[in-house]
Amino acid sequence: MGPIERVAVIGAGNMGSGIAQKSAQEGFSVQMVDKEEGFVKRGMETINGFLNEAIQRRIFSENKVERIISNISLGIGVDSIRKDTDLVIEAVFEDIDVKSSVLNDLAASCNHETIIATNTSSLSVEDLASLSDRPDRFIGLHFFYHPAKNRLVEIIPSSSTSSETIQSVTQYCGAMGKVVILCKDRPGFVVNRFFVPWLNEACRLLDEGLGTPAEIDNVAKDCFEIGMGPFELMNLTGPSIALHSTDYLASQLQVDRYKGADSLRRLVEEGIQWDLAGVSGELSYKNKKEIENRLLGVVLCISSQIVEEEICAMEDVDRGAKVGLRWPMGPFEIANNLGVDVAYGIASDYAALAGFESPVILSERGSEPFEFKLIDLEVASGVASLTFNRPEAMNALNEQVITQLTDIWKGLEEDPSVHTAILRGSGKAFVAGADIKFFVDKIEDDKIDDIREFTERGHDILNAIESSRINTIAVMSGLALGGGLELAMCCNHRIGVEGKTMLRFPETGIGIYPGLGGTQRSVMIAGVECARYSIIAGNWLDSNLAFSMGYLTDVVGYSGLEKAISNIVCGKVDHPNHKYQPRNPEDKLIKQILETFGDGWQNRLMDPASGLGPFEERQSKFIVRNAPVSIKMASELIDIANQSREDPAVGLQSELDGLDTIFSTKDALTGLRGVLSGKRVQFSGE
């Protein structure tokens, strides 16, 4: 089974058009199909509306939008589906009879090799698979609204879905930058299993007179640290959807507690929305606490059931809440924040109300907090696959990630059967640098020694990867920033994806310098001039420029990614050694970089009044807005890398030696705070 390249989406409504739009944005050839011409035209109008808005907000250029639209074709009726389609996604109305009719028609219209996926938020994938003529090539997908914006997707295999189908669909979702939760086929799957009862519990609280919709929303927003409460969310997505979903869960799981609350049922019958106009009065402490505990209890209790039923891991439950619902913390992080023993008490009280068993996963830990696996590891046939799985934080490196990576790597080194390690990132990024909040907290607490210790540990594991007997491959199919790029440079092979991979050292623009070997290995790989262009000016590098410099050892289309990895694993590709010069010095842009950032670059670029050409002027503007101390120290470290070629350890130690100085500057704290706030800052040079 080859990679998915051609996709058809059946249904041109909000979900179908959104799936088609996102697929086209990521370079797939997409056919959007519905039963009437008016439906597909309306779906295309919806897509055009979103894309025009993206142009106005400067998210996409007009040329980019033209390319996206050119990837979409329209079809009337399922018999119009192209025979070479790799994946058909059925995204019609959430009704078993409607979906079964479509699946019956697809059996006659599709090539037997085509994978068929049903986009469903609630229906049994097992039941739908039994209606398909290709149960091994049938799978469930649950895209979250809006599919072009929400990064979460739940993948639900049936008992007959082949591993090849799971792999192909997972790769397709990965190509779109989606965060994937692979879960068992149980009612509500993962997120809706706890989210829908949470909405209904809010309505029950209203029925019991514990607060108005506005008051309950306010308590929920404070308790969960979210922007919208349950009633406002229902108004946004439609109260009828909430009622349908909660009644479905009640019937499928045979839980009376989930039956739609009386107030919700009346609201839907009347065809109106919740009245959120103001707060009627100050809630009593007793009522506020009851609301908090009930809303927390339903989430904590049901999330525990999800893990106990082995629908997915607790990390995926939290991931679903943070990515799919945009909550700042997932249920098990909330439990840690409350104290696991306190969380158990709250969950047990809700379990008693609902007639459930008390959650074992909470009771067995006592007061010990949960520990989360942030790197997924699979080993097969001597190949270890490591996936950094913090997509809500762009897989940023923190203390826990460094510790887990160190422990994993030690285990791989001790296993003589492991000959290759593949490093990937979940979602849109490979690894987007280090955790900025960690740096800010340590500076504010006057604990810069902790930053040095963290960085030293980072140096140790990166050095271990670089010097390992294991052949290493960094799959950089998205963003790689700062520490993520530094990690990748330690690998033998660094594969980028055309049109998706973007690299950058942003450090001098936030008041610091690359401290995990970046100032040294960039010189080793691409030469001193390219290192200055990348680090001092902080330029973005697309896949082609990064390949010409040497940061990437290969660039492929997404459909060719697995083949490129396979060739390396099979020993068909030798990894290049450090060259201290760009791979392609004859490239037009590389020539400009070599000329601009050669000897005397500081005199030319740091004096804007010196009469510069267009390229030099642009680079000068980049540099002068960065932190002066960062520029000075990074420049010195780059020079050390160039001068100590016989002993690279000299420069690596120099990076560590400068940490106390750089993190003690006012500019470092200003710049790092600016990242957290999303605001551009001005540096004082102090």
pLDDT tens per residue, range 105-114: 998 889 889 9
191-363, which class in CATH? Answer: mainly alpha
pLDDT in tens, 354-409: 999 999 999 999 899 999 999 999 999 999 999 999 998 999 999 999 999 999 99
**DSSP per residue, 485-504:** HHHHHTSSEEEEETTT-EEE
> How do the domains of the chain map onto residue ranges?
6-182, 191-363, 375-677
Q: What is the pLDDT of residues 336-356, one digit of tens each?
A: 999 999 999 999 999 999 999
Assess contact for 486 and 504: CB atoms under 8 A: no
Question: Catalytic residue among 71, 192, 235, 548, which?
Answer: 192
Model confidence band, residue 278 (pLDDT cutoffs 50, 70, 90): low
pLDDT at 609: 62
- Show the tokens assigned to 49: 């509306």
d(CA 540, CA 530): 12
Which CATH architecture describes the domain 6-182? 3-Layer(aba) Sandwich (3.40)
| Beta-carbon-side half-sphere exposure of residue 462 (alpha carbons within 13 Å) | 23
Tokens of 162: 């082949």
- How does pLDDT run across 35-54, given as a tens digit for each residue? 999 999 999 999 999 999 99
| Predicted pLDDT of residue 96 | 86
Assess contact for 548 and 582: CB atoms under 8 A: yes
Q: What is the mean pLDDT of residues 263-292?
A: 89
Query: Which among 17, 29, 109, 121 is annotated as catalytic?
Result: 121
pLDDT reported for residue 121: 87
pLDDT greater at residue 300 or residue 434: 300
Q: Which CATH number fits domain 375-677: 3.40.50.720, 3.90.226.10, 3.40.190.10, 3.90.1150.10?
A: 3.90.226.10
pLDDT in tens, 558-572: 889 999 999 999 989
Least confident of 95-104, 314-323, 526-535, 592-601: 95-104
Backbone angles phi, psi at 253, to 5 degrees: -95, -5
C-alpha–C-alpha distance, residues 128 and 135, integer Å: 9
291-333 pLDDT, tens digit each:
999 999 999 999 999 999 999 999 999 999 999 999 999 999 9
Question: Which one of 23, 26, 29, 142 is the catalytic residue?
Answer: 142
DSSP 258: G
Which pLDDT belongs to residue 93?
A: 87
Six-digit token string for 403: 């510790």
Nearest in space to 29 (alpha carbons), one of 564, 558, 566, 562: 558
Gap between the terminal Cα atoms of the chain: 58
Question: For residue 622, what pLDDT is reported?
Answer: 92
Say whether 154 is catalytic.
Answer: yes
What percent of the chain shows pLDDT beyond 70?
A: 99
Q: Is the pLDDT of residue 671 over 70?
A: yes
Per annotation, catalytic residue among 90, 94, 154, 507: 154
Asked about 121 being catalytic, the answer comes back as yes
Q: What is the largest CA-CA distance in the chain?
A: 79
Q: What is the pLDDT of residues 498-550, one digit of tens each?
A: 989 999 999 999 999 999 999 999 999 999 999 999 999 999 999 999 999 99
Backbone angles phi, psi at 494, to 5 degrees: -135, 105
Kindly indicate the confidence band of residue 204, based on its pLDDT and cuts at 50, 70 and 90: very high
The pLDDT value recorded for residue 565 is 95
Which whole number is the average pLDDT over 60-72?
95
Of 37-46, 234-243, 548-557, 610-619, which range is least confident?
A: 610-619
Tokens 């109305």 belong to residue: 93
Is 139:166 a contact under the CB 8 Å cutoff? yes
Average pLDDT over all residues of the chain: 94
Give the model's confidence band at 281: pLDDT under 50 very low, under 70 low, under 90 confident, else very high: low
Alpha carbon separation from 42 to 12, 26, 214, 503 (Å, rounded):
8, 22, 36, 38
* Tokens at 313, concatenated: 């891991």
d(CA 88, CA 86): 7
Q: Rounded CA gap, 597 and 655, in Å?
A: 21
Distance CA 261, CA 539 (A): 55
Strands 179-182 and 152-157 come out as: parallel
Q: Which residues pair with 157 in a beta bridge?
A: 139
User: Model's pTM, two decimal places?
Assistant: 0.91
Pairing verdict, β 6-10 and 29-34: parallel
Quick check: 577 pLDDT over 90?
A: no
What pLDDT score was predicted for residue 610? 63
Please indicate whether residue 192 is annotated as part of the active site. yes
